[in-house]
């Protein structure tokens, strides 16, 4: 039978996730290094490595502007990618507590998955002391030029598949090719997972300007949101 845990809004996600993984609860193994608090994670619908707050949430206690305390269901929070009704301003208030679903799993297997996520983050992302954060995005539709790049990169990906390259490798090389053809070769070292930009050194500000130019060539109305690491 499923159980639940209720925590205050200021609980750090990574601390909660690590504790839940040790106890053998599924859905937290990808969140063991996620920065921020659980309240903020609900507002942003945070997630990584296949784990999403929206998949765990049973409800959130909300202090409304008029002083009334209400309880929001996942449906009322209307989650979308990295967003919620609270973030979009459709619902007003401050999260007080969060209730999350607990589903039992294999503790040993969950610890292994958590360690894989931890090592991948160490490998691909610099530590907070050298890192402003990363971008999330809503790219929308492609320009005509972007559509042509999709076709070219798709052919390239097909060729890689014939050479036996796996899907993750093909996906990475595909978006790298699009950036190179769109004039963003210098941006490539700053990209991570689905075209996200990471500030990893003192040159990142200059490169980010090029990143924005490339996105505008490929997408009709790209919207970016910067995540600030703690």
**Max Cα separation, the chain?**
62
Contact 176, 209 (CB under 8 A): no
Closest C-alpha among 3, 7, 53, 11 to residue 28: 53
The pTM score is: 0.65
Closest C-alpha among 122, 120, 126, 42 to residue 83: 42
User: Strand 51-52 to strand 47-48: parallel, antiparallel, or no bridges (unpaired)?
Assistant: antiparallel
**Structure confidence by residue, pLDDT tens digits, 73-94:** 999 999 988 889 999 899 999 9
Question: In the prediction, which pLDDT does 200 show?
Answer: 75
**Structure confidence by residue, pLDDT tens digits, 94-132:** 999 999 999 999 999 999 999 998 888 777 665 554 555
CA distance 35 to 14: 6
Measured torsion, CA atoms of residues 91, 49, 99, 8, in degrees rounded to the nearest 10: -80
- Whose tokens are 């930009």? That residue is 197
Walk along the chain (230 residues) and give the pLDDT tens digit of each residue.
469 999 999 999 999 999 999 999 999 999 998 888 999 999 989 888 889 999 999 999 999 999 999 999 999 999 988 889 999 899 999 999 999 999 999 999 999 999 998 888 777 665 554 555 555 566 678 999 999 999 999 999 999 999 999 888 888 899 899 999 999 999 998 887 666 787 777 788 889 889 989 989 999 888 776 665 54
């Amino acid at each position: 039978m499923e159980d639940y845990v209720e925590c205050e809004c200021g609980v750090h996600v990574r601390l909660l996730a690590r504790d839940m993984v040790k106890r053998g609860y599924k859905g937290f193994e990808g969140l063991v290094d996620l920065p921020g608090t659980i309240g903020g994670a609900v507002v942003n619908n945070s997630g990584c490595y296949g784990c999403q707050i929206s998949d765990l949430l049973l409800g959130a206690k909300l202090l409304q502007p008029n002083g009334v305390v209400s309880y929001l269901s996942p449906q009322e929070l209307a989650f979308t990618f990295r967003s919620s009704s609270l973030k979009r301003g459709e619902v007003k208030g401050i999260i007080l507590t969060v209730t999350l679903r607990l589903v039992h799993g294999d503790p040993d297997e969950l610890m292994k998955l958590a360690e894989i996520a931890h090592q991948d983050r160490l490998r691909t992302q610099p530590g907070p002391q050298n890192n402003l954060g990363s971008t999330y995005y809503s790219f929308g539709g492609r320009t005509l030029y972007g559509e042509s790049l999709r076709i070219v990169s798709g052919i390239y990906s097909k060729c890689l598949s014939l050479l036996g390259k796996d899907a993750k490798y093909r996906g990475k090389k595909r978006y790298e090719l699009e950036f190179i053809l769109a004039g963003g070769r210098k941006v490539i070292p700053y990209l991570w997972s689905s075209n996200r930009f990471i500030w990893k050194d003192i040159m990142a500000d200059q490169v980010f300007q090029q990143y924005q130019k490339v996105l505008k060539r490929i997408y009709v109305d790209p919207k970016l949101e910067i995540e600030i690491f703690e």
